[in-house]
Chains A and B, each alone.
Chain A
Amino acid sequence: PGEDEEEQREVFEFEFSDRPLLPCYNIQVSLSQGPRNWLLLSDVLKRLKMSARAFRTTFTHIEVATIAEAEFYKQASLSQLFSSPDELEGFLPDSKELLDLVEISGELVALLGSSLECLDDRWEPVPKARS
């Protein structure tokens, strides 16, 4: 298949890690695109033991999105996966502070030491990870 066709293929992706995975939030950050899966930049920096400045300088191509904490809380708290009272207790529902988010990608997954396993629509493992 060509690159476009390959990109269009829908695959199940399984991220594997030997460390507990960072919390992932399914959030719509802009009206121009639907919900995507994001990690908090602060969590990523802690895991990578990097400063925000070093991260932005080293990975200039990784887009950092921002969202108001109140909006983030509103969307995240709607998820049935965050039904435990502990999950969102660090966030303030009325805060106007901005949160930095980075979208989960193949590169970020690799940076965090995880590996990806993909299943195609015939449920066969495929070696190609998402970009």
Chain B
Amino acid sequence: FDHSKAHFYRYDEQVSLCLERQNTSLSGKDKNKLTLQQKFVRCSVRAEVRHLRKVLCHRLNVEKHQVQMLFNNESLPDHMTMKRLWLSHWFGKAQPLVLHYTIKDKRTR
């Protein structure tokens, strides 16, 4: 068969995530603005944490340095793939994999 598109990410296995915002001291108005309304996410197992951060920035209209991805309160490295994350932190558990994110104040670097 035609192998020319077989490498496309869309044909990869897809991982199911739930992205919860970590509680921070944001005011009520910012809290809503900076919280994903659609928190259930599906993407390729080859997507990396940095891609997720980028997409979150786009969705929440914030800068990249403001978003941090966490699992069990530990920051996740940018180049970790969803597959590796699943196998090392979620293997044997049911979908979706629950991740947290924090949004830092714009001025904080």
Contacts and interface: CB of A to CB of B under 8 A. Distances in A.
B45 to A, nearest CB: 8
A17 B40 contact: yes
Contacts of B58: 117, 125
Contacts of A16: 36, 38-41, 59
Interface stretch (A42-50, A51-59, A62-70, A75-83): A75-83
A123 B54 contact: yes
Interface residues on chain A, size class: 35 or more
B10 A14 contact: no
B107 interface: no
Contacts of B40: 16-21
A32 B94 CA distance: 32
B8 A81 contact: no
Interface in A1-35: 8, 10-21, 23-24, 26, 31-35
Given A81-B86, A87-B94, A33 B38 contact: no
Interface residues of B, number: 44
B12 interface: yes
Contacts of A86: 94
Nearest to A35: B11
A12 B43 contact: yes
Contact of B51 (A23, A36, A114, A123): A123
Interface of B: 1-3, 5-16, 18, 36-47, 50-52, 54-55, 58-59, 83, 86-87, 91-96
20 contacts: A11-B10, A12-B46, A12-B47, A13-B43, A14-B51, A15-B41, A18-B40, A20-B40, A20-B96, A21-B41, A23-B95, A24-B16, A26-B12, A34-B6, A34-B11, A37-B14, A80-B86, A81-B45, A87-B95, A125-B58
